[in-house]
Amino acid sequence: MFKLLRIFALLGCLIGVFLPIPSSAAGPTIRIAMTPAFLHDQHAMLAQWRDYLQTHTKRPVEFIQRDRYRETIDLLQQQKVDFAWVCDYPYLVLKKDVNLLAVALHQGKPSYQAYLIVPISDTTTRRIADLKNTIFAFADPYSNTGYLSPRFEIQRSGADPATFFKRTFFTWSHRKVIDAVASGVAQGASVDSYVWESLAKVRPDITAKTRIAWKSELYGFPPMVAQRNVPAADFALMQGVLMNMQNNAQGRNLLNRLNLDGFIKGSPKLYDGVAEMMRQFGEP
Amino acid sequence: MRLFDLSLRYKMPLWGGGLILATALALSASFMLQAWDNLHHDLQKNAEDLARITARSLFPVMLHDEVWQAYEVVTLPFAANPASAQTESLVVFDSEQRVYVSSRSHEHSLLQPMAELGPEYAALAQHLPKDPEAPVFVSDAPGAQHIYVALPVANDGVRLGTVVVGYNKSLLWQRFSQLLLNAVGITLLVLGVLLPITAYWGRRMMSPMQWITGRIRHIGEANTAAIDPKLYPYQDEVGLLYQAYADMHAKLQEKALVEKEMVKSERMAAVGRLTASIAHEINNPLGGMLNAISTLKRHGSPDPVTQKTVSLLERGLSQVKETVAALLVEAKVKSRPLNTSDFDDVRVLVSHAIKKQSTQMHWVVTVPDGMALPSTLVRQVLINLLLNAIAASGRSGRVSLQAKTNEAQLVMVVENTGTPMLPEQLARLYEPFTSFSENGNGLGLWICYQIVTQLGGTIHAESGAQQTRFTVILPLSSPHETTDQQNLPD
């Protein structure tokens, strides 16, 4: 069954890549960087979303997928992409180079949180302090929930995040962080709640092998940002198309598959909590 | 009963089956041995290849300390189909022999020393070569459940760790047993086909042998029928055996017949000689006695009582003389040649008997005149045979005579209906005083036999349910000189 789905997904991708751009789509290509801030391995859905954006912006749209946030940060700074869906932490890092385009609504709110997950066999862990001297998986050094937030919690508990764990490693994606805990490679990990909830919908067998031991406070949802040199017309077009998604059936279908409720303009103030954490860590 | 005394019918299929079984077993055993070796070699080769590929791709990953990527590399062989994977575990150890990452992450946690992963790994940890350029190291301890293939993750003399591919020995046995099962299945199938064929072939080969053996065993007994050449029409050794048997059978039958005839004619000759000598011994004094009686009657004047006694004596002696004369068949009698008219005479002579018995007579005589045979004797033979036939056919019976000549023989066949003769009667038919009816004196056929034999011919009788037949064959050319000593001159 999954094999079949995969084939369809691949087919979708191929069609998406090779299909001639509709005649209505004209003008410069809109390039959007996609990051592991969401389940970016749902290739069929991505192909449909790209088609949707292409239809509604009447412009050719290209999705550029990178695993590491650093690469996306580079793409934005080098102005190789126009828009990007990034984590809140890279957004703050890039604050000077990007503008907030839109914020997705997850479970009705433009926020998410960090889940501390442990293997289902671990029934005792209640907070991150219980995981001292264990193997811990991080998502990405530029991830808030997958790196900044757990280290912040450790520091808050009075320990040194550098020596707290026996061994740590990066999986370069929230989805793979869940895999690392589910497979038993890591004894704990901090993960994007939105990714965990979305995976629970499509692959409940994987999330069932993990247990949420602790939930962090709410943070601003990973935003869609625009590289600062994007023309105002393009910015407005893209923002309009995203915010209009919940108003038509096709858009709603896509939002549903993204496990989102819609997009709002959002405000940089949403990310003040994260900024505060970063400040406490002495990061820019 | 010993095994080797068994019938070839069972022995041949048994031997054949035994050979087939032995061949099948030997072949299967050698194939299985080879298969075991190959399987062992394949599995190890597979593990080595896997270790090589994994070690190569792990080097940059370990160099960058990408644990998750390393995990993805080591789990790749198990991702597609965990059940069919030959390898059971793929563990990467760092340079201090601690788990870097393992495909069995639930059992082997990161940074756990190799020696703590159980006795098998502990033994491996002791023997593992530490050299960066070390070749593939295979640990196949006799007691251990697993075979481990270890290869350094190294490049350019720098060793970052070790890849250890482990597979369960039971897998080897599991695969082998599957092969074994297949081989046994195929062997049984082949045997299932071959053994019945061998059994059938053995029976087919042996049944003509068995038949001929049975026949040969009973060859000495009387009345064995001749062999039907269609029974085994092939020209192989069995066919030749059949032919040889048929030849032997025919010769034996012939010999038996000749012996029988010889015994019979010898007996008849002996009887003849005896009869003749007794007859002569009787004849000479008898002649004297009859002369004396004659003289007495002519010249003496006996009283009535003596006269009556002498007459009685004379009648008695005359009867003796007749009987002796009948016994002494004389073929040397000068006689005119046999003509067609002699046959007509015979017919007239037996016509009274024919009339009396209301016999239907069938008379076919096609003979030339002036045959070189004594007419008197032939007439006597013919009259005797015909009167016998008329008597034997009973009332309203049928009797036939066929007489004809071919190049050098006169052939006369007398047939009659009526009660057939018994075999023992046929055997002593021509002996004197062997009467089969109340009225005969038992000398008729004896006389026929003597005449025919003295004329150099043969007389032959056969009797069936329908009719009894006498065949007389007389040579026409031979000088009918009597050579038999039985007919001594008076």
Give phi and psi for B158, each to the nearest 5. -105, 125
Give the nearest partner residue to B105 out of A170, A172, A184, using CB atoms. Answer: A184
Give phi and psi for B151, each to the nearest 5. -145, 135
Q: Is A264 on the interface with B (CB under 8 A)?
A: no
**CA pair distance B431, B437, nearest whole angstrom:** 14
Amino acid B481: pLDDT: 45
| Residues A50-62: tens digit of each pLDDT | 999 999 999 999 9
Chain B contact set for A172 (CB, 8 A) = 68
Buried b (16+ CB within 10 A) or exposed e, B74-111: bbebbeeeeeebbbbbbbbbbbebbbbbbbbbeebbbe
Chain B contact set for A184 (CB, 8 A) = 105-106, 109
Q: Is B470 exposed, middle or buried (0-12, 13-18, 19+ CB in 10 A)?
A: buried
Residue B77 near residue B50 (C-beta atoms within 8 A): yes
**Rounded to a whole number, what is the distance in Å from the CA of B202 to chain A's nearest CA?**
60
* Mutate: best of A41, A120, A185, partner B, most B CBs <10 A: A185
Give the nearest partner residue to B105 out of A167, A176, A183, using CB atoms. Answer: A183
What mean pLDDT do residues B182-193 have?
89
**CA pair distance B398, B360, nearest whole angstrom:** 5
Amino acid A6: pLDDT: 55
Q: Is A185 on the interface with B (CB under 8 A)?
A: yes
Q: Say which residues have a Cβ less than 8 Å from residue A136's Cβ, sequence separation at least 6.
A: A150, A165, A167, A168, A186, A187, A188, A189
**Rounded to a whole number, what is the distance in Å from the CA of A33 to chain B's nearest CA?**
23
Q: Do B109 and A187 touch (CB under 8 A)?
A: yes
Closest chain A CA to residue B106: A184
Closest chain B CA to residue A134: B110
Give the nearest partner residue to B110 out of A135, A171, A172, using CB atoms. Answer: A135
Whose CA is closest to A237, among A45, A106, A58?
A58
Q: Say which residues have a Cβ less than 8 Å from residue A209's Cβ, sequence separation at least 6.
A: A119, A120, A181, A182, A183
Chain B contact set for A171 (CB, 8 A) = 68
* Mutate: best of B61, B68, B105, partner A, most A CBs <10 A: B68
**CA pair distance B469, B463, nearest whole angstrom:** 6
Amino acid B489: pLDDT: 37
Chain A contact set for B65 (CB, 8 A) = 169
Closest chain B CA to residue A136: B110
**CA pair distance B370, B354, nearest whole angstrom:** 28
Q: Say which residues have a Cβ less than 8 Å from residue B377's Cβ, sequence separation at least 6.
A: B331, B333, B335, B451, B455
Q: Domains plus CATH for chain A? A: 28-110+220-280 (3.40.190.10), 115-216 (3.40.190.10)
Q: Is B242 on the interface with A (CB under 8 A)?
A: no
What mean pLDDT do residues B233-253 have?
86
Closest chain B CA to residue A179: B68
| Residues B89-145: tens digit of each pLDDT | 899 999 999 999 999 888 898 999 999 998 999 999 998 888 888 889 998 888 888
Give the nearest partner residue to A184 out of B67, B68, B106, using CB atoms. Answer: B106
Q: Do A169 and B106 touch (CB under 8 A)?
A: no
Q: How confident is the model at residue B490 (pLDDT cuts 50, 70, 90)?
A: very low
Instruction: Specify the pTM.
Output: 0.63
A25 is written with which tokens? 């789509």
**Rounded to a whole number, what is the distance in Å from the CA of B104 to chain A's nearest CA?**
9
Q: Is B82 on the interface with A (CB under 8 A)?
A: no
Amino acid B102: pLDDT: 92
Q: Is residue A232 over pLDDT 90?
A: yes
Which residues 310-369 in chain B show a CB within 8 A of chain A? none
Q: Would you tell me the crossing angle of helices A2-18 and A43-57 to the nearest 10 degrees?
A: 30
Q: Is A189 on the interface with B (CB under 8 A)?
A: no
| Residues A63-100: tens digit of each pLDDT | 999 889 999 999 999 999 999 999 889 999 898 899 99
**CA pair distance B18, B2, nearest whole angstrom:** 18
**Rounded to a whole number, what is the distance in Å from the CA of B53 to chain A's nearest CA?**
22
| Residues B112-121: tens digit of each pLDDT | 999 999 899 9
Q: Do B101 and A185 touch (CB under 8 A)?
A: yes
Q: How confident is the model at residue A248 (pLDDT cuts 50, 70, 90)?
A: very high
Q: Would you tell me the crossing angle of helices B375-393 and B444-454 to the nearest 10 degrees?
A: 140
A263 is written with which tokens? 């997009």
Amino acid A7: pLDDT: 52
Q: Is residue A124 over pLDDT 90?
A: yes
Query: How far are the Cα atoms of B153, B247, B260, B317 from residue B266, in angstroms, in the given order?
Result: 117, 28, 10, 31
| Residues B370-397: tens digit of each pLDDT | 888 888 888 888 998 998 888 888 888 8
**Contacts by residues B64-72 (CB-CB < 8 Å, ≥ 24 positions apart):** B65/A169, B66/A169, B66/A170, B67/A167, B67/A169, B67/A185, B67/B100, B67/B101, B67/B110, B68/A137, B68/A169, B68/A170, B68/A171, B68/A172, B68/A176, B68/A180, B68/A185, B70/B100, B70/B101, B71/A180, B71/A183, B71/A185, B71/B101, B71/B105
Q: Is A206 on the interface with B (CB under 8 A)?
A: no
Amino acid B39: pLDDT: 87
Q: How confident is the model at residue B438 (pLDDT cuts 50, 70, 90)?
A: low
Q: Is A135 on the interface with B (CB under 8 A)?
A: yes
Q: Which residue has the tokens 């021509």?
A: B430
Q: Is residue B262 over pLDDT 60?
A: yes
Q: Do A170 and B66 touch (CB under 8 A)?
A: yes
Q: Do B67 and A172 touch (CB under 8 A)?
A: no
Q: Choose the weakest-confidence range: A37-41, B212-216, B234-238, B345-349.
A: A37-41
Q: Is residue B452 over pLDDT 80?
A: yes
Chain A contact set for B110 (CB, 8 A) = 135, 166-167, 185
Is the ipTM reported for this complex over the cut 0.90? Answer: no
Amino acid A151: pLDDT: 93
Residue B154 near residue B132 (C-beta atoms within 8 A): yes
Better-predicted residue by pLDDT, B231 or B75? B75
**Rounded to a whole number, what is the distance in Å from the CA of A211 to chain B's nearest CA?**
16
Give the nearest partner residue to B68 out of A166, A171, A187, using CB atoms. Answer: A171
**Mean pLDDT over each residue of chain A, to the nearest integer:** 88
Whose CA is closest to B383, among B345, B411, B415, B356?
B345
Better-predicted residue by pLDDT, B79 or A123? A123
Chain A contact set for B66 (CB, 8 A) = 169-170
Q: Is residue A13 over pLDDT 50?
A: no
Q: How confident is the model at residue A284 (pLDDT cuts 50, 70, 90)?
A: low
Q: Is residue B213 over pLDDT 60?
A: yes
Amino acid B370: pLDDT: 84
